Amino acid sequence: MNICFIIDKWESLNPAEDSSLRLIHEAVVRGHNVGITYPNNLTIRHGIAYGFIHKIIKQDKYSASFPIFHSKLKFSEQMLPLAGFDAIFLRQDPPLDPIMLNFLDSVKDDTFIVNDIDGLRKANNKLYPASFHDPKGDIIPITHVSKSKDFLKKVIEESEHDKMILKPLDGFGGSGVIVIETRAKQNINSLLDFYISGKNTESNYVILQEFVEGAEKGDTRVLMLNGEAIGAYKRVPGDDDMRSNMKVGASAHKHVMTKKEKLICKKVGPKLVADGLYFVGLDIISGKLIEINVVSPGGITRINKFNRVKIQKQVIDFIENVIHTKELAINKKRAFKRLIEDA
């Protein structure tokens, strides 16, 4: 099987923690042809989409140590047609490059892309939860998205709660997430000016969200595969930060999913699969779904450590099964066509 991983720069990966590296390692250990490329390494020639691919040179044996695997791996760089890959695994940190998605549009009917291109466009990390039917706010916190300063001020003024969450629409890794005091009116104007205007001439969309009590105790990151939860762990903020993101100093802890967390997974799983979002990370706080990470969900390393499993095996198993099923269907169609032609 031929698999291409679209990732951030190879040199920037943290071998001790990176989830993408675990997936790549599992694929090459199984003997698959694996290449990596970057979003700006795609091109079109004679109407065909290509990538400047760093193809992993096969070895008789690969180190089980991820730092050694990362440092010793050798590549050959070639321009290869994207449609020649059975699967393309998109593992680039958000925000997504829309030009890259346009390149991938040309091969989405020939190649299994994780996650589906149309699903990725639909599932902007922070807007997507609003598409789930939850009129009473049982599993999703009340959320407002706007670039209208007057509207957002009105929402804050009318809030019955002392706190709300303010964050940029296109942030990731906890960047820009702050708690605002709804009664601190002297600060609201300047905060909204900063988040909406920023350094650009164009205004930016921001998210204003109900503050979920218990956020200071951390959140649960759940990894979903083909609509099912395959592992979870707890992320607890540091002493001087309310954010639970590992990139800003949160700590990871073993976690057993609650009934409410399992219910959330059961409710959102079918829609994720219907939208072609097969490998996804859910962030849950106190029984409320805060974010759905569809681009490059992390957590494989920590779940593996806490539960003594290898999540990457399940993910590559899934991809192999999808490709095998597609090949069976193609071979069956060819056989039927031959029967008709020979009749």
Residue closest to 93 by CA, chosen among 4, 174, 198, 202: 174
Checking if the pLDDT of 343 tops 90, the result is no
User: Longest Cα pair distance anywhere in the chain, in angstroms?
Assistant: 83
> In the predicted model, what is the mean pLDDT of the chain?
90
What DSSP assignment string belongs to 181-243? ETT-HHHHHHHHHHHHHTTSSS---EEEEEPPTTGGG-EEEEEEETTEEEEEEEEE--TT---
212, 285 Cβ separation under 8 angstroms: yes
Burial (CB count <10 Å: 0-12, 13-18, 19+), residue 144: middle
Percentage of residues in the chain having pLDDT higher than 90: 63
| Residue 112 banded pLDDT, cuts 50, 70, 90 | very high
Whether pLDDT at 200 is above 80: no
Convert the pLDDT of each residue in 268-286 to its tens digit.
999 999 999 999 999 999 9
Task: Select from 103, 111, 108 the least CA-distant residue to 119.
Answer: 108
Tell me the whole-structure pTM to 2 decimals: 0.86
Q: How far apart are the first and last CA of the chain?
A: 34
pLDDT surpassing 90 at residue 127: no
Ranking 54-68, 203-217, 311-325 by mean pLDDT, the lowest is: 203-217
**Residue pLDDT, tens place only, 308-325:** 999 999 999 999 999 999
**pLDDT for the residue 178:** 86
The structure tokens listed for 152 are 């957002």
Distance of alpha carbon 299 from alpha carbon 306, whole angstroms: 11
Rounded to the nearest 10°, the torsion over CA 93, 228, 24, 47 is -70
Residues in the chain: 343
Count of CA atoms in the C-beta half-sphere (13 A) of 321? 9
Q: Is pLDDT above 90 for 199?
A: no
Q: Is the pLDDT of residue 77 over 70?
A: yes
Task: Determine which helix (DSSP H) or strand (DSSP E) holds 71, and give its type and residue range.
Answer: helix 66-72
301: Cβ contacts below 8 Å, ≥ 6 apart: 16, 17, 18, 19, 22
Kindly state the average pLDDT of the residues 112-137: 84
Instruction: List the one residue out of 294, 196, 293 whose CA is nearest residue 245.
Output: 293
pLDDT for the residue 34: 98
Instruction: State residue 248's pLDDT score.
Output: 57
DSSP string of 169-184? TT--TTTT-EEEETT-
Higher pLDDT: 26 or 343? It is 26
pLDDT tens column, 224-258: 999 999 999 999 987 665 555 556 567 899 999 99
Q: How far is CA 268 from CA 226, 272, 274, 326, in A?
A: 11, 6, 10, 26
Q: Which of 13-22, 97-106, 126-135 has the lowest mean pLDDT?
A: 126-135
pLDDT of residue 167: 85
pLDDT at position 224: 98
What's the pLDDT score for residue 272? 96
Confidence of residue 172 (pLDDT cuts 50, 70, 90): low
| Domains and their CATH numbers in the chain | 2-114 (3.40.50.20), 142-210 (3.30.1490.20), 215-309 (3.30.470.20)
Instruction: Label residues 1-11 b or e (16+ Cβ within 10 Å = b).
Output: bbbbbbbeebe
Q: Is the pLDDT confidence value at 66 over 70?
A: yes
pLDDT classification of 114: cutoffs 50, 70, 90? very high
